[in-house]
Amino acid sequence: MLTDPKCSLRSRTVAMQVCAELRNRKALPIAREAAQDSNDISFKMASMAAIGALGDPSDPPLLNHYKSNSDIRLSGPAKAAIAKINKDYKLSKY
């Protein structure tokens, strides 16, 4: 469902949220791609949250671009995802 182009973006957004909640790491590459390329704010937000839940120390640089975005719908999830990864991996540089 997450990669099915026939599914609505709303359904794909919910699927991304479910994957993050269930810690389904198979969703991580899709979340990374969507965080960079999606034009849908809700899907991009869900993807950033999934990166925060599932990501690793390679992910904060991908999210740094959004930390200072004037749209809080993007900066908030990016900051939260980076903080979660930093906490999970005991990082401090991002």
Prediction pTM value: 0.94
Q: What is the pLDDT of residue 93?
A: 65
Domain span at residue 43? 9-89
Is 4 domain-assigned?
no
Instruction: With respect to residue 70, please indicate whether it lies within any of the assigned structural domains.
Output: yes
**Residue 2 falls inside a structural domain:** no
Number of domains in the chain: 1
- pLDDT at residue 91 is higher than 90: no
Q: Which amino acid is at 17?
A: Q
Residue 94: band (very low, low, confident or very high) from pLDDT cuts 50, 70, 90? low
- Residue 1 belongs to a domain: no
Q: Exposed, middle or buried by CB within 10 Å (0-12, 13-18, 19+), for 15?
A: buried
As a whole number of angstroms, the distance between CA 60 and CA 39 comes to 20
pLDDT for position 92:
76
**CA distance linking residue 26 with residue 73, whole number of Å:** 25
Alpha-carbon span 1 to 81, nearest angstrom? 23
In a domain, 94, yes or no: no
Share of the chain above pLDDT 70, in %: 98
